[in-house]
Amino acid sequence: MTSDQPQLTSPILKVEGLTVYQGSYLALRDVSFELMPGTDTAIVGPNGAGKSTLVKAVLDLIPQSTGKIEIFGRRVTNLGYLRHLLGYMPQNFIFDRSFPISVSDLVGLGWARIPKQRQHRSFFPKSLWRKDRDKSAAIAQALQRTDAYHLRHQAVGTLSGGQLKRVLLAYCLVTPRKLLVLDEAFAGVDVQGAADFYVLLNELKLQEGWTILQVSHDIDMVSRHCDRVLCLNQTVVCTGKPEIALSPQNLLATYGPGFSRYQHHH
């Protein structure tokens, strides 16, 4: 007897032997790893290591050359409505700042009502497929939880970098997710803003049961706030808990000579 519902011990994400070419350039080589439910895993590595390429391959935004990617036990190319369980925050949210869209309208674009097909019910809360779900209430709650409710009527183009990050996080919250992917989500945010955002992200992870995969250049923040680290330089150099993966030996193997680890002091 089989079930669509993943077991608690099953990986949320499983990558096996992933190789990606961009033209003739080898961007990723034989990458394999798993994400278990409820973990926060950071991908670290030098510029050009393939971090963003890996994230885009996981999200099925670029074609993979060889290998296999499974999310919730299904091939990433065949997720269907389960794709609504993925949240994504890009490094750069590029848009025309003169475009007249409010914060509430942007967050509302992330809202989805899931069809009532039997095969989907085991993955989604009933509140998503009940007819009486209130979209406006979901938007308001998501903005409140990210401390951005006061911005709800503001034009998106007027937001600061930190405000925009919180609004994009609300976009991910407005429909419940199981896997949240962040590609340098803290780029353009100052040190204190990034620290505050990490605290908020961890609170929401615990409340929502999120599994998080994030790309980061900030080794110090990663060591403080993430519970798993994947060191990448075209292939996986090492993976494990921060105190192991971020050892001087592993950082040297990942970044090469001359790497200097910067630590924040608050």
Q: Give 162-174 as a DSSP string.
A: HHHHHHHHHHHHS
- The Cα–Cα gap between 8 and 38 comes to 10
Q: How confident is the model at residue 263 (pLDDT cuts 50, 70, 90)?
A: low
Handedness of CA 222, 79, 54, 164 (dihedral sign): negative
Q: Which residue has the tokens 């609300």?
A: 170
pLDDT in tens, 87-104: 998 877 777 788 889 999
Q: How confident is the model at residue 127 (pLDDT cuts 50, 70, 90)?
A: low
Mean pLDDT for all residues in the chain? 86
pTM: 0.85
Return the domain boundaries, the chain. 13-255
215: left (phi over 0), alpha (psi -120 to 50) or beta: beta
Q: What is the pLDDT of residue 121?
A: 53
pLDDT in tens, 218-246: 899 899 889 999 999 999 999 999 999 99
Greater confidence (94 vs 15) lies with 15
- The Cα–Cα gap between 259 and 247 comes to 12
In CATH, the number for domain 13-255 is: 3.40.50.300
Q: What is the pLDDT of residue 131?
A: 44
- Quick check: 125 pLDDT over 90? no
pLDDT in tens, 18-69: 999 999 999 999 999 999 999 999 999 999 999 999 999 999 999 888 999 9
Q: What is the pLDDT of residue 73?
A: 92
Closest CA to 193 of 114, 92, 266, 118: 266
Alpha helix (H) residue ranges in the chain: 51-58, 103-108, 118-121, 126-129, 135-145, 161-173, 191-208, 219-225, 242-245, 248-255
Q: How confident is the model at residue 1 (pLDDT cuts 50, 70, 90)?
A: very low
pLDDT in tens, 174-184: 988 999 999 98
